[in-house]
Structure 1
């Protein structure tokens, strides 16, 4: 007997929904539009901050709700409202930074603040994306790093870092204090408050809408997706996924560059 269709579709963005040029293909955009128009909600579940969502929304017919900052922020783009936020408190930020500086002396930090609408970074922290926007500013003292709550702390170390090794180092230093994960191969470690993951943010959203995890279909590609994929009733990895994701996924679809999410959804919703 065929399994019933999911009641909600959750998908990571970078490396999963988007191609390597950070674009959504017309096929993928059309598939998402058909599914949502027929009544199945689609939720973006991402490590991205709110301020990076517009690039995605510009490629869709209508914006989709988003769980941002690896589960720390639940965002309604229609009303531009943050429905839920789980930040690291200033005192916790200070302790996390202290432990990591002791463990990794050349570490540098940035914090996502104001529900991830702004970022503050240490002077030597390497910026990769929106370095020239008004929302980004260098801090003037180490104390400023922990001046306000942050939905995510970002950590980099000087030189080439194996991301899997680096995240294990960070997680070991912060055991029981905070969550550490990564979503890229650039050596960036993303730190959230204890218990804050993509799974936790998505679970809160689904509970709010009366949807059980068994009825959720989720797509992902990187270690920060593992909690969500483990929680969801059906977990699908794109073919380009990190080995940790391929290991726990129920199924594997085509790569992000081959419209893997759309190809899978077309089979699940053939009549949409």
Structure 2
């Protein structure tokens, strides 16, 4: 992704109560690492009373590694389908219903010849033989079979996300055809730049889960600052009061966000968080009524 020209860094006069940040291309550097500066900024925000939640398309099987690497923060995984407490305890699941999952696979395969599927369960991963695989979560069980079998092989095992891949279609074309084929049976998005489309249960996005979770904490959407770089971040960036597109973000994301942050390789999230924390420190203490 081409980095956009530098723009003035804008922060609200009243710091947010909650930070919601994407990982890849946003919080993490391009080589997948987390800088010491960013780790320190996240910890300082939490210590100052600003909650931090990691919001990612990555599956539940990668959550333990994320918490070990980034620190004890809440996690919204699988594009909103799972929520985890800072200690890794599962707090909430929004799976795709079995009948809807089967219908989705049938419609997309009929509409787009050559497509292959993978399934993200609550812990493990299954894929068709020709579907690409990823190394997230080495402890996860990897199942191989046709999609219909994968959706029913483990009775009672929640399916949180279905992935569809095409070996030749350009991403934009593949995404539009897959979204049209899914109709109202799933939320459709993409995040990797590959010809890979992601499906979640209807109504389940990063944004819907974040807003529902923050509401239970007594935090309004206007009190949230969110950071993102790619299309699956768009729902969250348009749902909060303070949205930041990374300088390396897709043009659609930069257009949708209210503000711009420096690139992920410049620790852009950390730069903004440091200003939030500094603003809290400099705020005069509230006077107690006589």
- TM-based fold match above 0.5: yes
Which secondary structure state, in structure 2, belongs to the residue aligned with residue 29 of structure 1?
Answer: helix
CA spacing shift, 1:34–1:142, aligned 2, 3 Å: closer
In the TM superposition, 1:1-272 aligns within 5 A as 3-60=13-70, 62-78=71-87, 80-113=88-121, 115=122, 117-130=123-136, 134-139=140-145, 141-147=146-152, 148-159=157-168, 161-270=169-278
Describe the superposition over 1:137-176 as per-residue Cα deviations: whole angstroms up to 9, x where unpaired. 212x4431221541100010123x4322221111111122
Q: Distance in 2 between matches of 1:192 and 1:142?
A: 15
Q: Which has the larger radius of gyration?
A: 2
Describe the superposition over 1:59-96 as per-residue Cα deviations: whole angstroms up to 9, x where unpaired. 33x32110110011111141x32211111111111100
Aligned partners of 2:62 and 2:137 also within 8 Å: no
Q: Distance in 2 between matches of 1:21 and 1:54?
A: 20
Which secondary structure state, in structure 2, belongs to the residue aligned with residue 123 of structure 1?
Answer: coil
- What TM-score comes out, normalization by structure 1 length? 0.92
Aligned partners of 1:130 and 1:136 also within 8 Å: no
Describe the superposition over 1:237-258 as per-residue Cα deviations: whole angstroms up to 9, x where unpaired. 0011112211100011111111
Q: Distance in 1 between matches of 2:224 and 2:217?
A: 12
CA spacing shift, 1:131–1:231, aligned 2, 3 Å: closer
Aligned partners of 1:43 and 1:66 also within 8 Å: yes
Q: Distance in 1 between matches of 2:53 and 2:131?
A: 31
Aligned to 2:288: none
Aligned CA RMSD, in angstroms, stands at: 1.7
Q: Distance in 2 between matches of 1:215 and 1:5?
A: 8
Describe the superposition over 1:171-206 as per-residue Cα deviations: whole angstroms up to 9, x where unpaired. 111122211101111111110111110001101110
- What TM-score comes out, normalization by structure 2 length? 0.87
Moved more, 193-202 or 170-179: 170-179
Describe the superposition over 1:15-43 as per-residue Cα deviations: whole angstroms up to 9, x where unpaired. 10000111110000000111101111100
CA spacing shift, 1:142–1:66, aligned 2, 3 Å: closer
Residue 270 of structure 1: how far off its partner (Å): 1.6
Aligned partners of 2:117 and 2:147 also within 8 Å: no
Gaps of 5+ in 2: 1-11, 282-290
Moved more, 128-137 or 33-42: 128-137
